[in-house]
Structure 1
Amino acid sequence: SIEKEIIQPTIDGMASENIPYKGLLYTGIIVTENGPKTLEFNCRFGDPETQAVVPLLEGDLAEIMMACIEGNLSKTYLRSSNGFALCLVIASGGYPGSYKKGVKISGIEEADSIDGVKVFHAGTKFDGEDIVTAGGRVFGVTGWGADFPQARKRAYEAAGKIHFTDSFYRNDIGNKALKYLLTND
């Protein structure tokens, strides 16, 4: 398993070098034909991965992080709902290369009002009363639900309501998982 092959050896390795780790350890992993491989470690939440985790987390994230800081994490019960979540990134045209900033955005409130959806701002700012683009990755749009197809449908429905010139998002996010679920049920 990923925990046994990647995570635990990393934690054990730090401990053996008298570097006990306290905090959040984000592990970027890719699944290859030869199994899971580590891409990176970060001492922070992953972006946009966290946007799919937070809606499923039950409890107060600040309390969980305080317990970690104070060394009481083992006394904290981490719970998540049994649901599924999917996050889509809406990006500015040209991203990851050059892109326009200051482009007016519409549909945010409409998207965010969908049940089981949260729109996370990333590259946005106010220009007077308007919200405009200010970065390449403009939004993370997360949908969640009791099953994966519902979570995916909500995310795509919400993303389709947000509009700005030259915006784009991938239309294949979740396809592999959906195919797997449909062929293994």
Structure 2
Amino acid sequence: MNVLLIGSGGREHALAWKIAASPVLTTLYCAPGNPGIASVAECVALDPADHDAIIAFCQQKSIDFVVVGPEAPLVAGITDDLRAAGITVFGPSKAAARLEGSKGFTKDLCAQFDIPTGKYQRFTQAEAARAYIRQEGVPIVVKADGLAAGKGVVVAFELQEALDAVDACFDGAFGGAGAEVVVEEYLEGEEASFFCLCDGKTALPFGTAQDHKRVGDGDTGANTGGMGAYSPAPVMTQAIIDLTMRDLIEPTMRGMTEIGAPFSGVLFAGLMITRNGPKLIEYNTRFGDPETQVLMLRLKDDLLLLLKAAADGVLDQMSVRWNDDPALTVVMAAKGYPAAPEKGSVIRGVAAAGDDENVEIFHAGTKDRNGELIANGGRVLNITASGKTVQDAQKAAYAAIAKIDWPEGFYRHDIGWRAIEREKAL
């Protein structure tokens, strides 16, 4: 099977690494890829936003299957264009990708189909949003409605912080994503990430993880796209998974079909596990980053066959097996992230860091410059390890980081702390 993977980040490197292990793979291409992906796939200089060029490449190279990694091409309708050209693709339609492309759309769907989530209101005018915030009080959550690369969310514990977040959205801090604002109830509990592969009819549970969104140790500082993750999430017991499937995933699948946008692809539920059970924080319509990195280390089955089954509508014939050992990933980011990451610095020692058989280094924001590895993004490397316990995986990841020579980079030192506290309490 000739496969094209679209994307260039750590999520795509992890997907490429796992797809490359499939015995049914003939050739794997990645557009545009990165230096890490180049070790397992042929990278091609294609812009994911240029749908015509992607289609022409697929026809030229006899691509049997396309896997779309990032959210922006999905929201822009790349899967619709590929399917119209007769090319099999994993990912939701443009209409279904609204679950991620518009937080307000998702909130409205939850209200229509009785899916547990926080109370909310949608606003297109700053003054109305500010009045609602004053009425409701803090803590409260302010979200840019559209895609903002994981940065358009402010969890405000001070009134002025919430008001400033509204102003930032309407003043253009997130471009068109902030033209509408969703203000919602602050939910108390423990966050978790839950994934399902979907084919429009069937939703197949596909693992759990916990992300670390705050930039600093101790869950302090600005929200980011994610500074690290581990899998499985201890809070996601089988009982919680069953509740999530019954009360959130299945009604969402039914609701999307009812409104004429059946969901196919990966449905990523960001959950808050409250005293009253799981509630939806948000949906993403692609694999998480950096959650994918830990999921791929734990997945026993052939990822390519699973994704193809979702695209072909035969997920009811599939099952998923996982390694029991937990996995953990630590994001190494460029100084200045998430506000203004510094690009262009040289990174050394990555090969040595990956020598441990339990460690994989996934490239997120790198490029090759005359044989040197260069930082070319905010989140730059994902140091990913497995172990018998989360603490073992954490030790392996940080031991690998110690071998990397990159003074211009930084990382959190406490990834996995919540799970490790649980292990110590047992």
How much has 1:9 moved relative to structure 2?
A: 2.9
| C-alpha distance in structure 1 between counterparts of 2:418 and 2:367, whole Å | 34
> For residue 149 of structure 1, what is the aligned residue in structure 2?
391
Q: Would you say how many aligned residue pairs link Structure 1 and Structure 2?
A: 184
> Out of 126, 132, 135, which is 2:374 matched to?
132
> For residue 27 of structure 1, what is the aligned residue in structure 2?
269
Aligned in 2, Cα 1:70/1:115: closer, same or farther, shift over 3 Å? same
> Out of 252, 255, 259, which is 1:13 matched to?
255
| C-alpha distance in structure 2 between counterparts of 1:45 and 1:60, whole Å | 16
How much has 1:34 moved relative to structure 2?
A: 6.2
How much has 1:155 moved relative to structure 2?
A: 1.4
Q: Deviations over 1:27-60 (max 9, x none)?
A: 2224456654423212211111100100111122
> For residue 117 of structure 1, what is the aligned residue in structure 2?
359
Q: Deviations over 1:90-113 (max 9, x none)?
A: 000010011221100011011111
Aligned in 2, Cα 1:35/1:160: closer, same or farther, shift over 3 Å? farther
> Out of 61, 66, 86, which is 2:328 matched to?
86
SS of aligned partner of 1:101: coil
| C-alpha distance in structure 2 between counterparts of 1:32 and 1:166, whole Å | 39
- Report the more deviating stretch, 4-13 or 19-28: 4-13
| C-alpha distance in structure 1 between counterparts of 2:261 and 2:383, whole Å | 37
| C-alpha distance in structure 2 between counterparts of 1:181 and 1:164, whole Å | 32
> For residue 293 of structure 2, what is the aligned residue in structure 1?
51
Q: 2:251 is matched by which residue type in structure 1?
A: P
SS of aligned partner of 1:68: helix
How much has 1:121 moved relative to structure 2?
A: 0.2
| C-alpha distance in structure 2 between counterparts of 1:61 and 1:133, whole Å | 29
Q: 2:367 is matched by which residue type in structure 1?
A: K
> For residue 174 of structure 1, what is the aligned residue in structure 2?
416
| C-alpha distance in structure 1 between counterparts of 2:282 and 2:402, whole Å | 32
Higher relative contact order (CA 8 A, sep 6+): 1
- Work out which of the two has the higher radius of gyration on C-alpha atoms and give 1 or 2: 2
Structure 1 position 66 matched with structure 2 position 308: yes
Aligned in 2, Cα 1:129/1:149: closer, same or farther, shift over 3 Å? same
> For residue 40 of structure 1, what is the aligned residue in structure 2?
282
| C-alpha distance in structure 1 between counterparts of 2:368 and 2:272, whole Å | 36
| C-alpha distance in structure 2 between counterparts of 1:153 and 1:130, whole Å | 28
Q: 2:412 is matched by which residue type in structure 1?
A: R
SS of aligned partner of 2:265: coil
Q: 2:345 is matched by which residue type in structure 1?
A: V
Calculate the aligned-residue CA RMSD, in Å: 1.8
| C-alpha distance in structure 2 between counterparts of 1:175 and 1:182, whole Å | 10
| C-alpha distance in structure 2 between counterparts of 1:33 and 1:134, whole Å | 42
SS of aligned partner of 2:384: strand
Name structure 2 gaps, 5 residues minimum: 1-239
How much has 1:72 moved relative to structure 2?
A: 1.5
Aligned in 2, Cα 1:99/1:18: closer, same or farther, shift over 3 Å? closer
How much has 1:11 moved relative to structure 2?
A: 2.2
Report if the CA contact (8 A) 2:348-2:406 is conserved. yes
Q: 1:173 is matched by which residue type in structure 2?
A: I
| C-alpha distance in structure 2 between counterparts of 1:122 and 1:11, whole Å | 31
How much has 1:115 moved relative to structure 2?
A: 2.1
| C-alpha distance in structure 1 between counterparts of 2:280 and 2:397, whole Å | 27
| C-alpha distance in structure 2 between counterparts of 1:157 and 1:17, whole Å | 50
Name structure 1 gaps, 5 residues minimum: none
State the TM-score, normalized to the length of structure 1.
Answer: 0.90
Aligned in 2, Cα 1:64/1:94: closer, same or farther, shift over 3 Å? same
